[in-house]
Structures are given as structure tokens and as C-alpha cells.
């Protein structure tokens, strides 16, 4: 969830299910972050409310923007707090650091990740497990672990809440999502798309045949459903020779807005 003072000053809290701070610290290193295009000025282990933690600070990939990040947890969980502000806004940076110092983690609280979602669906069709939520996007993977290497294709799916849009706008949105594959160095071999109806709702579907940077084939099934007051986008990637494509389609048919 994102809390903001303005478009340039905000923070987000991200829970990472099925992970722990020991495993996370091994993966989330200064070298890993900088390999994604960001720069790390501060990288240090700290203790936070009695939990192991790591604190990062530095400019982001966006010019004139600074990010501060704190990840903390134990052998059973890891949570990440990310703050963003303009690099020349020293007062907002102080405010964000003060915000970080006020958090308290209640391990006994049982969170329903879809509590605020505007849709319901049947997660048992694929058997995938909930991985994480970032903003209005809910991710599921076969083992429930978050995929950190976003430049590599993996098997999983995401559901994203969207406002009500026209069919044309939903097509534009899916086209924009598809263009990300090319920007990541992957090759889209063919695209099948069509307007249709799913559960009585206007919908737009796209199926992609593609190859990753190592020439490994994968399939992508995407669909945008348009309801009376809102919509939802489904994005499923299959790196298992098409094993899950039919299940992705059945999952979309189970969506209720």
C-alpha cells in the first residue's frame, strides 16, 4: 500500500510471504540492487524492533529521486518499507526516516491479502500460492515465493485492479504490458488477440508466444475484464511448455467483479 504526501514523496510497505530475513539478505545485496540500475550510497545491517534488518539509501533509476529502504524480519518472515522523495528535498527525507522509526510489526495478526480487492476468483484452479501485493497488483507463483529477478521469465500470474475503462483502453493497456517483454530483451514471436465476453463481461484477450534472452520458449496469456464500475487485468506467464495456459483461462472465467 502507498501512502503519499505528494506525487514525489511517499512510502510503501511490502510483505513478502514465504520468505525470511536470512534468505532475503543473501539475495538483496548492494550488487543486486545496482545491477537493476539503481545506486546504493548506504548499505548497512541494523536491528529494528528486535528484528534483524538491512537499511539501504541512494538515488533511484529516476533522475532527481532518492529511495530509502528498510527490510526486517526473522526466520519466519520479512517485510520491506520503501520511502521515496526528491533528492533535493532534505526535509522530506528526514520525515520519511522518522516514519520508518515508528513502525511496529504484529506477528499475531492474520492478514487477508485480498481484503481490499474489487474482485474474487478461484485460486485452486492452478494451485498457485499467494506471493505478494504491490500497489493494486496481486502476484501468485507455484511455490508462493516472490520473484525478484524481473528480467527473467517465470511461471506465475498476476491480477491487477483497474478503474472502468473502454474496450479500446483495455487493449492499449495489454499492448503496453506486452511491450515490456521486448524492453527486457525478450522476443515476441506471435500475438493472438480478440474481443470477447467472459462471465457476461466485455473482455479483451491476448496470447503471446515468445522466447527469453536464452532462447527458452514461454507463453503468456493476458485478459482484461470490464465491469460496471471497475475492471481487472490477468497476466499469466508459462515457462513450462504451456502446462498452465488452459488453467489460466479457467481462472479468468472464475473472476467475479
pLDDT tens-place string over residues 48-65: 989 999 999 999 888 899
Asked whether residue 180 is domain-assigned, the answer is yes
Number of structural domains, the chain?
2
Q: Are 141 and 243 in a shared domain?
A: yes
Residue 175 to residue 172: CA distance in whole angstroms = 5
CATH number, domain with residue 145: 3.40.1000.10
Sign for the CA dihedral angle at 146, 150, 156, 161 comes to: positive
pLDDT computed for residue 107 by the predictor: 86
Residue 146 to residue 140: CA distance in whole angstroms = 8
Provide the mean pLDDT of the chain: 90
pLDDT in tens, 200-215: 999 999 999 999 888 8
Sign for the CA dihedral angle at 124, 129, 133, 139 comes to: negative
pLDDT computed for residue 152 by the predictor: 66
* Cβ(83)–Cβ(4) below 8 Å: no
**For residues 131-152, average pLDDT:** 77
Q: Where are the beta strands (DSSP E) in 164-255?
A: 187-198, 201-211, 217-226, 230-238
Helix (H) or strand (E) holding 42: strand 42-48
- Asked if pLDDT for residue 149 goes beyond 80, the answer is no
Q: Are 193 and 249 in a shared domain?
A: yes
Nearest Cα neighbor of 8 from 50, 53, 67, 52 is 67
**For residues 238-256, average pLDDT:** 95
The model's confidence at residue 145, banded by pLDDT at 50, 70 and 90, is confident
Asked whether residue 245 is domain-assigned, the answer is yes
Q: Are 180 and 83 in a shared domain?
A: no
What is the domain extent for residue 238? 129-253
Q: Are 66 and 173 in a shared domain?
A: no
**Residue 1: HSE in the Cβ half-sphere, 13 Å Cα cutoff:** 6
Residue 17 to residue 145: CA distance in whole angstroms = 7
Q: Are 176 and 61 in a shared domain?
A: no
Asked whether residue 110 is domain-assigned, the answer is no
* Cβ(8)–Cβ(84) below 8 Å: yes
Q: Are 248 and 135 in a shared domain?
A: yes
**For residues 172-188, average pLDDT:** 86
DSSP 8-state secondary structure symbol assigned to residue 19: -
Q: Are 140 and 219 in a shared domain?
A: yes
Q: Are 50 and 165 in a shared domain?
A: no
Amino acid at each position: 500500500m502507498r501512502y503519499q504526501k505528494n506525487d514525489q514523496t511517499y512510502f510503501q510497505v511490502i510483505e513478502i510471504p514465504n520468505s525470511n530475513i536470512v534468505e532475503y539478505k543473501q539475495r538483496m545485496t548492494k550488487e543486486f540492487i545496482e545491477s537493476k540500475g539503481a545506486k546504493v550510497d548506504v548499505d548497512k545491517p541494523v536491528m529494528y524492533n528486535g528484528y534483524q534488518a538491512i537499511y539501504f539509501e541512494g538515488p533511484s533509476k529516476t533522475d532527481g529521486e532518492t529511495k530509502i529502504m528498510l527490510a526486517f524480519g526473522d526466520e519466519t518472515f520479512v517485510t520491506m518499507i520503501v520511502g521515496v522523495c526528491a533528492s533535493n528535498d532534505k526535509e522530506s527525507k528526514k520525515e520519511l526516516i522518522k516514519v520508518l522509526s515508528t513502525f511496529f510489526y504484529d506477528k499475531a495478526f492474520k492478514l487477508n491479502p485480498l481484503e481490499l480487492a474489487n474482485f474474487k476468483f478461484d485460486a485452486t484452479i492452478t494451485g498457485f500460492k499467494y506471493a505478494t501485493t504491490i500497489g493494486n497488483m496481486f502476484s501468485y507463483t507455484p511455490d508462493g515465493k516472490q520473484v525478484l529477478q524481473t528480467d527473467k521469465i517465470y511461471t506465475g500470474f498476476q491480477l491487477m485492479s483497474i478503474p472502468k475503462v473502454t474496450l479500446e483502453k483495455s487493449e492499449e493497456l495489454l499492448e503496453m504490458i506486452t511491450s515490456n517483454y521486448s524492453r527486457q530483451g525478450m522476443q515476441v514471436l506471435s500475438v493472438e488477440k480478440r474481443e470477447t465476453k467472459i462471465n457476461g463481461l466485455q473482455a479483451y484477450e491476448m496470447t503471446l508466444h515468445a522466447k527469453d534472452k536464452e532462447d527458452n520458449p514461454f507463453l503468456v496469456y493476458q485478459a482484461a475484464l470490464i465491469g460496471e464500475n471497475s475492471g481487472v487485468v490477468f497476466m499469466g506467464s508459462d515457462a513450462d511448455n504451456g502446462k498452465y495456459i488452459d488453467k489460466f483461462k479457467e481462472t479468468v472465467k472464475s473472476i467475479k467483479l
